[in-house]
A and B are shown apart, each in its own frame.
Chain A
Amino acid sequence: MRQFLLNRALQSLVVIIIMSFVIYSLIGLMPGDPIDLMISANPNMTASDAAALRELYGLDLPIYERYWNWLGAALSGDLGYSRLFGQPVLAVLLPALKNSLILMGTAFLLAVCIAIPLGTLAASKPRSAVDYGVNLFAFAGISIPSFWLALMLIIVFSVFLGWLPAGGIASNGAGLLEYVKYMVLPVATIATLSIGSYSRYTRSSMLEVLRQDYVRTARAKGASNSRVVWKHALRNAMIPVVTILALDFGYLFSGALVTETIFSWPGMGKLIFDSVMGNDFNLALVALLFATALTLIGNLLADICYALLDPRIVIGGGKA
């Protein structure tokens, strides 16, 4: 068991290190560089000034040396300054992380609370109208473009009905109700997408369990259909569903890029998008790394919990 955890943790660490280099290189490939931006901001700079600045910032070094220097600074706590926000990167990042967690966590809980009963209901009456209805809804959920769903919700609830704000977040000091008002549409968008896939997984896992012998035995002993489904089968049907949920757990930390951007929700997703589009290299780099690392760690935690929960997984150092 310890061996397994160690291996998994080590693997995640290797991926994080590799990804930090990949992301660093990709950011370096984005249009323009900091000196270009300085030049455009200050018309008095000459070409030789620019070259001197490049040397000063180490931008003339090969990519791996620049990466090495950056890594040293980052590990000693110097993550640099955000150009867009004029603040240290970390000061921008942490509030965004908090906002993302609130948004994603709410949507995740909501989706789970709706999808699992929905999927179970569909499985308990296969080929009924309820089953087809849930199936159709699930397919719609996995097929709808998230940004379009967001736009449609805005059109209906903000443009036509005027009930809810089209985007943004409640200002500091506003009441809880005000805060929730801003959350409704983005949460609904994210949850709709997840409900589709979660309810499908629940349904098929449930059907699988209902075919098994002990369920038939329970039926043969005269237990009612709903008792069989909700008492006997549900717990076992949950094991594969939990795997899927655990895999998604990691994504809570990287935010919902599309939804946050459209609703101007100041979370990680929007931060990454804005920093990439706004050439804020320091911020983009650190935000992407944070999102990647946290997602991987989330996945790792989910894996560990899952391994602890499911007695069928044999944990050994050998065959995977």
Chain B
Amino acid sequence: MDRQDIIVSTKKLSKRFNTKVATEKGWKKATVAAVSDVTLDIAAGETLGLVGESGCGKTTLGRMLALFYLPSEGTMTIRGVDVSALKPKQVKPLRQHVQMIFQDPVSSLNPRHTVENILTEPMKFFSSDTAPVRRQKAADLLEAVGLSADALRKYPHEFSGGQRQRISIARALVLNPAFVVADEPVSALDVSVQSQILNLMKDIREEFNLAYLFISHDLAVVHHLADRVAVMYLGRIVEIATRDSLFEDARHPYTHSLLRFVPTVVPNKSKIGKILQGDPPSPIDPPNGCPFHPRCPHAIDICKASIPVLETVNAVARHATACHLQDEINQQSGDR
């Protein structure tokens, strides 16, 4: 990949939220480390898949990259502009480069706005086009996502889930962004519709030269679309590699447990939640050492003491893993 046209780049990116937890003595202030020490790059036209269980921080990371949250620590650049140094007001001009596709096709479209309203609104903030020009642009976009221009006058509730997601995709394209964060864009849809939307996302990626951050808990879906895949656990990236390297040569025990139950025939059965025993630890009170050690079958003393860092294991496949025992485990499970 050409390192020149990096769109998004983060270094040791972290996000903490202040919250309150219920204890026996009433409410207590606490901090949630939703995202910790995330370092990654996404190049123009590239799709990075982001997988992990619910609550692992993948949505938070996605929203940070889509400029909804500013980092607590670390740096993040969009097209070379350091976002972490900006004030909230200075973020606005950057928004046209980064857009988001949401999970829920029902709640992501304002029920009181017509499709025309939904699609032309972004232009009001960023262009000086006249109303007819905007409408024409909106109509063109609708056709690009496989809907007819008649849809402009309609309200969201007149469409099916898949059609709504197409409108949502069209909205993300209005400002001609370079990078789109898609947070579980097909998980709320029927299986039969999922592949249509995935293929649409593939097509427009070529047409608009988009970079994607594609968030999903469904490995089959990620395999379909991603060039590279990052695995997230408890706010940290534990393994990242090109798609084939990750699916065929996984090093991290957590990635193993995710992959072990990916049947390739029925994509819908590959939901991560059913695979591991027990719940992931709470991000309010994360375990010492490797975040995965309480559930890891291979954990030894060092796993409880220090947090492993991402180490490159295969430079060609840009494959890096954060595990103290990755060499040993890989030999054992070679006959998987």
Query: Is any CB of A less than 8 Å from a CB of B in the complex?
Result: yes
- Which A positions have Cβ atoms within 8 angstroms of B? 3, 316-319
User: 12 pairs across A/B with beta carbons < 8 Å?
Assistant: A3-B26, A316-B22, A316-B26, A316-B27, A317-B26, A317-B27, A318-B20, A318-B22, A318-B26, A318-B27, A319-B20, A319-B27
- By secondary structure, the B interface counts as strand
0/1 interface trace, chain B 4-47, chain A, CB 8 Å (1 if under)? 00000000000000001010001100000000000000000000
Min CB distance, B29 to chain A, in Å? Answer: 10
B-side contacts of A319, CB under 8 Å: 20, 27
The smallest beta-carbon distance between A139 and chain B, in angstroms, is 31
Report how far A317 CA is from B29 CA in the complex, Å.
12
* Chain A hits for B26, CB < 8 A: 3, 316-318
A58 → chain B, closest Cβ, in Å? 48
Greatest chain B CB density within 10 A among A3, A317, A318 is at A318
Note all chain A residues with C-beta closer than 8 A to B27: 316-319
Further 9 A-B residue pairs, CB within 8 A, beyond A316-B26, A316-B27, A317-B27: A3-B26, A316-B22, A317-B26, A318-B20, A318-B22, A318-B26, A318-B27, A319-B20, A319-B27
Q: Which residues of A contact B20 (CB under 8 A)?
A: 318-319
CB distance from B68 to the nearest CB of A (A): 23
Distance A316 CA – B27 CA, assembled complex (angstroms): 7
Which residue of chain A has its CB nearest to the CB of B20? A318
On chain B, the residues within 8 Å of A318 by CB distance are: 20, 22, 26-27
Bound Cα distance A64, B318 (Å): 74
From residue B25, how far is it (CB to closest CB) to chain A in Å?
9
Shortest A7–chain B CB gap in Å is 12
Complex Cα spacing A1 to B83, Å: 45
Q: Provide the residues of chain B in CB contact with A316, threshold 8 Å.
A: 22, 26-27
Number of B residues near A (Cβ < 8 Å) is: 4
**Distance of A316 Cα from B26 Cα, bound (Å):** 6
Q: How far is the CA of A318 from the CA of B27 in the complex (A)?
A: 6
Give the residue name and chain of the B residue nearest to A314 (CB). Answer: B22
List residues of chain B with CB within 8 A of the CB of A317: 26-27
Q: How far is the CA of A22 from the CA of B14 in the complex (A)?
A: 50
User: Which residues from B are CB-within-8-Å of A3?
Assistant: 26
A318 to B26, CA, bound (A): 7
Complex CA gap A316/B20 in Å reads 12
Cα distance A316–B25 when bound, in Å? Answer: 9
Q: How far is the CB of B17 from chain A (nearest CB, A)?
A: 15
A315, closest chain B residue (CB)? B26
Distance in Å: Cβ of B33 to nearest Cβ of chain A: 21
Q: Could you tell me the distance between the alpha carbons of A3 and B25 in the complex, rounded to whole angstroms?
A: 11
- Please report the C-alpha to C-alpha distance between residue A317 and residue B20 in the assembled complex, in whole angstroms: 11
In the complex, the chain A residue whose C-beta lies closest to that of B27 is A318
CB distance from A153 to the nearest CB of B (A): 48
A8 to nearest B CB, angstroms?
16
Distance between A162 CB and nearest chain B CB, rounded to angstroms: 61
Closest to A3 in B: B26
The answer for the CA separation of A44 and B25 in the assembled complex, in Å, is 72
Query: Which residues of the other chain, A, contact B22 by a CB distance below 8 angstroms?
Result: 316, 318
Smallest beta-carbon distance B203→chain A, Å: 46
Nearest chain B CB to A237 CB, angstrom units:
30
Closest beta carbon of chain A to B287's beta carbon, Å? 27
Q: What are the 6 A-B residue pairs with the smallest beta carbon separation, nearest first?
A: A318-B27, A316-B26, A317-B26, A318-B20, A316-B27, A317-B27
Please provide the chain B residues from 204 to 243 with a CB less than 8 Å away from any CB of chain A in the complex: none
What's the least CB distance linking B124 to chain A, in Å? Answer: 37
Q: How far is the CA of A316 from the CA of B22 in the complex (A)?
A: 9
A252 to B20, alpha carbons, bound, how many Å?
A: 40
A224 to chain B, nearest CB (A): 43
A3 vs B20: C-alpha distance when bound (angstroms)? 17
Residue of B nearest to A318 (CB): B27
Min distance, Cβ B19 to any Cβ of chain A, angstroms: 11
**Whole-angstrom distance between the Cβ of A199 and the nearest chain B Cβ:** 35
Min distance, Cβ B24 to any Cβ of chain A, angstroms = 11
Per the bound structure, the CA–CA distance linking A3 and B26 in Å amounts to 10
A155 to chain B, nearest CB (A): 51
Q: Considering only CB atoms, which chain B residue lies closest to A316 in the complex?
A: B26
With both chains docked as a complex, state the minimum distance between the C-beta of B148 and any C-beta of chain A, in angstroms.
43
A2 → chain B closest CB, angstroms = 11
- A301 to nearest B CB, angstroms? 24
A317 to B26, CA, bound (A): 7
Rounded to whole angstroms, the CA-CA distance of A3 and B27 in the bound complex is: 12
Q: How far is the CB of B138 from chain A (nearest CB, A)?
A: 42
Q: How far is the CA of A319 from the CA of B26 in the complex (A)?
A: 10
